Amino acid sequence: MNNIEKTFITVEKPFITIEKDSMNAGDFFQGLLEKAFRINLLSKSEIEKIQLQIIRLMAVRAERYTNGESSSVTVETGQSLHQTIFYTLGFYFKSLPNIETCIEMLKKESVSDLYQKGLTLLEQQFHYGKCLLESVNAARLTTDLMAYNDTLDQGLPPFFSCYDFDFAAQENPGSVDYPLALDKTELTGIEYMNHYLETLLLENQFCIRFSNENIHHLLRGYDPHYQELLINIFFLVFTNALGAVLTDRSPLELDVSVHAAGLLQQKLSPYSKEELENLLKEAVMTLCLACNLSEPKLQQYLLKNIRPLAARLKQSLEKNRIGEFFISFRQTDPSFVLQYTDDRKMNDTAFRTLADAIRECRYVSDKIAILKSEVASIADIIDLLEGSCFFEKEYDDVFKALEETELAILLKKLPIDPILKRIRTEDINKDWQYRFYEYLDMLDPAKKETLYQLSFRIQLG
């Protein structure tokens, strides 16, 4: 009780609403109690009563978890059960219309009964999610984008075979690699899964209006080897469809030529971000008429994407790079592609011996000499970069010693913005990648652009 009381006391301004969409179910229940206490909708004694009921419910759930053998569980299991209870209660309260109704239910019914209502709702949403997955597969796109296919074939089904709304409702079994245009990663459990499936269904329903051939040409125009990238098909299709509308062409064609993009650069450069938003909203209405998109939820989703799209468009216009925002179909040109086949990796014993030798070197010049003479595989270079063999400024010396092709291949291993084709620093999760990003940032712009272009051309075999 003391921790909760301290949390309440530190907040001075009362709130009368709770933002449902931006909070996962577990956080929502905690926030509900805190805010109800602040504005005197729940008294201290009522909060204590609720906490006591939660403790009793914990004991009941723990006993059920152990099949009646004990009400004592490990700390980790106890934390998971506690999170599940809060998630289940929050899931139920998020379904209610307002905070007043939530408080009324808290005062009128026991926590145990409210928890059962939450369980019932979770089970309903679980079955709804299975139906959603069937609908997503029914509207599935024909594409060779690996992240899309892997997510639908291998990532999503395990969620519904492993999800445990009894004891781990807040967990996310399975894996989701394919990114949405608009995601809510703060959600968890069935709440996130159903959001993901509902959104993916809308994106699929939009994209199936366009031919598979044109979508393929669009993705290839973005990158000739797009198959292994983590990109969102919908956002690219939506962007180019609007580009076609803005150039008075059929959105179904999707192609925005280099010449047309240049005209848009001249026309749209004076526009403010707000003016671009209004222009794009008008283009959405034209697009919906041209493609017979009358579903309100789909129209609403298209409009939700306008603000981030307008912000990126404004950024592209300011950098005079609209040709990377609206994509032109790439003509077939075998000479454009550089096929690269990496050398064989070292076996584990040889690699460990080499890595130890590099770590024992006092000077970075000696480390680089070993690297240049003994390492032939890019995969081994990356493993060394990740293996605590280099430190601080040594990374810069290593990158300077690598050949242009090797640098271009390393660049392919960094997260690239799907529209601006620039590194997304917020998605970097390895030290060497951030060091490489800093190194690239110091390069002459012409040299850096050469590396980018070479990276786009290289196809890894």
Q: pLDDT tens for residues 87-123?
A: 999 999 999 988 889 999 999 999 999 999 999 999 9
Between residues 70 and 267, the one the model is more confident about: 267
The pLDDT of residue 456: 74
Q: Classify residue 314 by burial, with Cβ atoms within 10 Å: 0-12, 13-18, 19+.
A: buried
Closest among 271, 208, 217, 269 to 240, alpha carbons compared: 217
pLDDT digits (tens, 9 = 90+) for 204-249: 999 999 999 899 999 998 988 899 999 999 999 999 999 999 999 8
Q: pLDDT band for position 1 (50/70/90)? A: very low
Give the rounded percent of residues in the chain with a pLDDT score beyond 90.
60
pLDDT at 151 over 90: yes
From 394, 364, 399, select the one nearest 381 (Cα to Cα): 399
How far CA 103 is from CA of 1, 24, 208, in Å, comes to 19, 19, 45
- Residue 111's H or E segment, with its range, is helix 111-138
Structure tokens at 210: 């366009």
Distance of CA 2 to the CA centre of its chain: 37
Measured in whole angstroms, the distance separating CA 452 from the mean position of its chain's CA atoms is: 24
Q: How far, in Å, CA of 106 to CA of 118, rounded?
A: 13
Q: Which pLDDT band, with edges at 50, 70 and 90, does 8 fall under?
A: very low
Q: What is the mean pLDDT of residues 445-460?
A: 78
Confidence tier at 447 by pLDDT (50, 70, 90): confident
Q: How far apart are CA 431 and CA 388, in angstroms?
A: 10
Specify the pLDDT at position 22: 60
- Residues 304-360 have pLDDT tens digits of 999 999 999 999 999 888 888 999 886 544 445 677 788 888 999 999 999 999 999
- What is residue 80's three-state secondary structure? helix
Lowest mean pLDDT among 41-55, 303-317, 446-460: 446-460
Confidence at residue 284, expressed as pLDDT on a 0 to 100 scale: 97
Q: pLDDT tier at 443 (50, 70, 90 boundaries)?
A: confident
Say if pTM beats, i.e. exceeds, 0.75: no
**pLDDT for the residue 445:** 75
pLDDT in tens, 279-290: 999 999 999 999
Contact present, 417 and 319 (Cβ < 8 Å): no
Q: Which residues pair with 340 in a beta bridge?
A: 460
- Element at 314 (helix H, strand E): helix 306-318
Q: For residue 332, what pLDDT is reported?
A: 44
Q: Which of 55-59, 416-420, 443-447 is least confident? A: 416-420
**Tens-place pLDDT, residues 160-191:** 999 998 888 999 898 899 999 999 988 999 99
> What are the sequence ranges of the domains in the chain?
2-112, 122-207, 228-324, 334-460
Question: At residue 2, does pLDDT exceed 50?
Answer: no
For residue 123, the model assigns a pLDDT of: 95
CA–CA dist 328, 222 (Å, integer): 8
Amino acid 5: pLDDT: 37
Confidence band (pLDDT; 50, 70, 90) for 19? Answer: low
Note the pLDDT of residue 43. 92
pLDDT for res 451:
84
Mean pLDDT of 358-379: 91
